[in-house]
Amino acid sequence: MKTLLFQRFERAARFGWTWRHGVAGVVLALLLTLALHAGPEGEDLNFMPLDEVKPGMKGIGKTVFRGTEVEEFEAEVLGVLKNISPRQHAILARLSGGPLEKTGVMGGMSGSPVYVDGRLIGAVSFSFPFSKEAVAGVTPIEQLVDTFEHSDEPVRGDPIVIEVSSIAPHRTLGIRGPGIPFVPNSGTAPVFAVSESMAAAAASLKPLAGHLFRYIDTPLVLSGVAAEAAAVLGGALAPYGMRVLQGGGAVSGEAGGELADGSDVVPGSSIAVQLMRGDMGFGASASGTVTHREGDKIYAFGHPWFSLGPVDLPVSKAQVVSLLPNLNSSFKIAVPTDLVGSITQDRSQGLFGTIGQTPKLIPLVINLTSSRNSSRTFRFELVNDRLLTPFLTNFTVFSTIVSQERALGESTLKVQGRIRLKGRPDVRVENLFSGDSNSQLFASMAVGRPLGYILGSGFEGVDIEEISVDITSSDEKRTGRLERVWPNRESVKPGETAMLSAVFRKPNGEEHEEKIPIPVPEDISEGMLLVTVADGSTMTTAENRMVGRRFVPRDLDHLIRAINNLRKNDRVYVRLQRPEPAVLLHGEEFSSLPPSFRQVLVSARSASSSLTVMGASNLYEYELPSMPFVVQGRRTLTLKVVH
C-alpha cells in the first residue's frame, strides 16, 4: 500500500512539476504528515485520550483466533467506568465478529488492542463471567503506558532472621523472614462491580448495573507435566486468575536460548510468557496478546500477571491451536514457538518487555535413580525470579518424581544436591524422606526452601548459576524408631569415653543396633550427666520451645552456612548436659551460676522476653554419620561422673 507521502509525490510528478517545486511539495507533505501525528505538546494522536471516548463509538480490535494470523473483530463502546480502583478506569465495550458470538471474551485475549477511528483506545482486559454477550472491559492505553513510565524502585523486605541452638555447634533451628514465601503469597484476582451511579452515566450501561466483572483469566498451558503435579500447580495459581490447562505434546522452541526474529510481533499478535521448559516436552507458559509496540518495546495483557514488578521472563511467539468454549470463561489454547525477547515489568496495568533481549534462565539438572534401579537425567530451565524460582523448582522436582515413580503408597527418597552461586560457597541439599504418603512433596521442598531463603534474603549479588539434584527412590518405607538406649557402664571418669548401644526398630520388625561413643570432658566435676539421643526433628522441636539464639546474618556467606547447618532426618544427634539450672539470656547460655546471682537474673524486676530459665546446662552436641533410614524417637539416660 502506497503511503500518503508517496502518493502526493507521484501526483506531483504526473502534473509536470519542476524539480524545485517537487522538493518543496515533498517537504510540505512531510510537514503535514508530521502535523497529523502530533497533537498539542507532542501528544501522540495514535492514542485516544480517555476523555474523548464516548458511548456509541465503534471500532475494531485485533487478536489471533487460530494459528498466528492477526484477525479483526468489531467493538462498540458502551461507556466509561471511572475509579474502579485508585486512579484506574475502564472502558466497557461490546465485542463481536469471528468466533466471539459462541465463545464470548476468551482467556488469551488479554491485551488485544481496540481502535476507534484508527486510534488506539486500550487493551481488552476484563470480562463478565457467564455473560451471554461478549462484553469486555478495556484498560485505557494511556493508563497502561504511563504505568511503565513511572516505575518505582523495588521494595526490600524485612531482614531474614536465623534461629540457632544455644548449644555448640549451634545448629540452625529455623530460618524465617517476612516476604520470603515458599509459594507466592496469594491474593485473589480483583473483582469489580458496575454500580448504579456508574450505570447512570450512560444509557448503554444500565443493563449491566450490579454485574460483576474481573480480569480475564490467563490460560497457563502445561506440557509434559504429571497430572498430580498439574493439580498442585492449578490450586496454587488459581488465586492469581490463572487457569491451568494440560496442553499435551511437545513445546515448540524448547531447546537452546537463541533468539528468533521478532519483527512480526505486532499489536494483536499472540505471545507466550514462559515459566519453565525442559526435557520430555516439559513446559509451562501463559498466553496473552500484544497491545502496542514502539520499536523493540512491547506492551501486553492489559492487566497484571503476578504483579511482581521488575522481572526477567522469556517471551515467545505463540500459536493458537484451538479455542475452548466454556459457559464461565472460554479460552484460547496456545503453545509457545520461537523465543523473541524478555518481559521486564509485570505491573498493575499489564506487562512490558523488549524484543531482542535475552532473558537469564536458571539451569536445573535432576538425576533420578528409580526404584527399578534405572538412572535418568532431566534438564530444565526456570525463570530467574525472587518469588517464582523457589516455587517453580519445587514444582519441577515434584513433577519429575511423580512422573517416574509412584505418587501414593510407601516410598523413600534420598535427596542430595547443590545450589551453585557465582563467587559464593555452594548451598548443600541433603536429606532423606520416607513414609506412606507425601514423601515426594517433602523431597521437592528440600530443594525449594533453601532457594527461597537465598533469593529472599535481600542481599546483593545473588547470582544462581545452576541447581543440581540427585534423587534416589525406593518403593518401601525406611524408618527406624529408637526403642532403647543403654550405656556399657554406669560410671565414667573425666576424659574417658563411654559407649552407648542404641536399638532402632524398622517397619518390618527388624532391629538395627548402633554404637554411640560419648566423650566425657576432662575438666568436668563429679556429678550426674544427662545424655539425650534423638532424631533431628525432635531435637529441633524441643529447642524451639526454649527459643534459640536469634540473629540477622551478616552477609550471604553467613546465611549459606546457616542453611548448610540445618539438621537432617537420617542422622542421630547426641547431647550431653548437666542436671543443673542455667539461664539463656539474649541467646547466650550462663551455667554454674551462684544461686543468689541466678535469683537476681530471674527476679520480676530483671525478667524480660529475652531471658529463659532452663532445667539443665548444656555441654555439647554432635551428629552421627547418616543412617540407612529416617530416624524417629528420643531417649534420655544418666551417667555418673566419678574421680
As given in the structure block, the three cell numbers for residue 217 are 483469566
Element spanning 151, H or E: none
Find the mean pLDDT for residues 477-491. 95
Using one digit for the tens of pLDDT, what is the confidence trace for 161-170?
Answer: 888 887 778 7
pLDDT-derived band of residue 37, with 50, 70 and 90 as boundaries? very low
pLDDT at 473 over 70: yes
pLDDT-derived band of residue 156, with 50, 70 and 90 as boundaries? low
Q: Of 385, 365, 375, which Cα lies nearest the Cα of 447? A: 365
pLDDT-derived band of residue 579, with 50, 70 and 90 as boundaries? confident
pLDDT at 274 over 90: yes
pLDDT-derived band of residue 178, with 50, 70 and 90 as boundaries? low
What is the structure's pLDDT at 232?
87
**pLDDT above 70 as % of the chain:** 79
Using one digit for the tens of pLDDT, what is the confidence trace for 499-533?
Answer: 999 999 999 999 999 999 999 999 888 999 999 99
User: Which of 241-250, 273-282, 390-399 bottoms out in mean pLDDT, i.e. has the lowest?
Assistant: 241-250
Distances (CA, A) of 335 to 267, 268, 486: 18, 16, 64
Distances (CA, A) of 523 to 195, 342, 520: 80, 64, 9
- Bridge partners, residue 355, by sequence: 341
pLDDT at 20 over 80: no
pLDDT at 195 over 60: yes
Q: Of 286, 264, 637, 305, which Cα lies nearest the Cα of 484? A: 637
What is the structure's pLDDT at 312?
95
Residue 195, Cβ neighbours under 10 Å: how many?
A: 13
What is the structure's pLDDT at 116?
97
Q: Of 504, 510, 380, which Cα lies nearest the Cα of 447? A: 380
pLDDT at 352 over 60: yes
User: Which of 191-205, 389-403, 538-552 bottoms out in mean pLDDT, i.e. has the lowest?
Assistant: 191-205
pLDDT at 5 over 50: no
Please state, rounded to an integer, the average pLDDT across all residues of the chain. 83
What is the structure's pLDDT at 598?
53
User: Which of 242-251, 368-377, 479-488, 628-637 bottoms out in mean pLDDT, i.e. has the lowest?
Assistant: 242-251
What is the structure's pLDDT at 192?
65
pLDDT-derived band of residue 357, with 50, 70 and 90 as boundaries? very high
Q: Of 52, 55, 51, 4, which Cα lies nearest the Cα of 26? A: 4
User: Which of 253-257, 329-333, 553-557 bottoms out in mean pLDDT, i.e. has the lowest?
Assistant: 253-257
Q: Please give the torsion angle defined by the CA atoms of residues 419, 421, 426 and 431, in that order, rounded to the nearest 10 degrees.
A: -20
Pair type for strands 135-140 and 427-435: unpaired
Find the mean pLDDT for residues 100-111. 94
Helix (H, G, I), strand (E, B) or coil at 389: helix
Phi, psi of 143 (to 5 degrees): -65, -40
C-alpha span between 109 and 126 (Å, rounded): 10
Query: Quick one: residue 210, left, alpha or beta (phi over 0 = left, psi -120 to 50 = alpha)?
Result: left
Using one digit for the tens of pLDDT, what is the confidence trace for 277-312?
Answer: 988 788 999 999 999 999 999 999 999 998 888 999
Query: How many residues are listed for the chain in this entry?
Result: 643
What string of DSSP letters covers 160-176? Answer: PEEEE-SSTTT-EEEEE
pLDDT at 589 over 90: no
User: Which of 18-32, 82-96, 113-127, 422-436 bottoms out in mean pLDDT, i.e. has the lowest?
Assistant: 18-32
pLDDT at 56 over 60: yes
pLDDT-derived band of residue 10, with 50, 70 and 90 as boundaries? very low
SS3 letters across 90-148: EEEEEEECCCHHHHCCEECCCCCEEEECCEEEEEEEEECCCCCCCEEEEEEHHHHHHHH
pLDDT-derived band of residue 371, with 50, 70 and 90 as boundaries? confident
pLDDT at 18 over 50: no
Quote the strand ranges of 439-541, DSSP E: 464-474, 479-487, 491-492, 497-505, 511-519, 527-535
C-alpha span between 626 and 623 (Å, rounded): 9
What is the structure's pLDDT at 592?
61
pLDDT at 637 over 90: yes
Using one digit for the tens of pLDDT, what is the confidence trace for 73-82?
Answer: 999 999 998 8
Q: Output the CA angle 272-275-279, nearest 5 degrees.
A: 100
Q: Which residue has the higher pLDDT, 454 or 88?
A: 454
The type of residue at 253 is G
Cis? peptide before 219, omega within 30° of 0: no
pLDDT-derived band of residue 191, with 50, 70 and 90 as boundaries? low
Find the mean pLDDT for residues 200-216. 69
Could you tell me which residues come within 8 angstroms of residue 45 by beta carbon, excluding any fewer than 6 positions away? 36, 37, 38, 39, 119
pLDDT at 602 over 60: no
What is the structure's pLDDT at 257?
61
Using one digit for the tens of pLDDT, what is the confidence trace for 613-634?
Answer: 666 778 889 999 999 999 999 9
What is the structure's pLDDT at 605?
43
pLDDT at 381 over 70: yes
Do 593 and 442 meet the contact criterion of CB atoms below 8 Å apart?
no
C-alpha span between 630 and 481 (Å, rounded): 8
What is the structure's pLDDT at 197?
65
pLDDT at 19 over 60: no
**Helix/strand number for the chain, H first, E second:** 11, 37
Structural domain boundaries in the chain: 4-36, 218-362, 363-474, 479-579+616-641
Find the mean pLDDT for residues 488-508. 95
pLDDT at 336 over 50: yes
Find the mean pLDDT for residues 3-29. 38
User: Which of 84-88, 145-149, 317-321, 628-632 bottoms out in mean pLDDT, i.e. has the lowest?
Assistant: 84-88
Find the mean pLDDT for residues 358-366. 96
Element spanning 30, H or E: helix 19-36
Find the mean pLDDT for residues 149-153. 59
Q: Hey, which CATH number is domain 218-362, 1.10.3470, 3.30.70, 2.40.10, 3.30.1490?
A: 2.40.10
What is the structure's pLDDT at 180?
41
Find the mean pLDDT for residues 337-358. 94
User: Which of 51-55, 199-203, 461-465 bottoms out in mean pLDDT, i.e. has the lowest?
Assistant: 199-203
Do 401 and 471 meet the contact criterion of CB atoms below 8 Å apart?
yes
Q: Choose the most confident range, by mean pLDDT, from 6-10, 168-172, 204-208.
A: 168-172
The type of residue at 477 is K
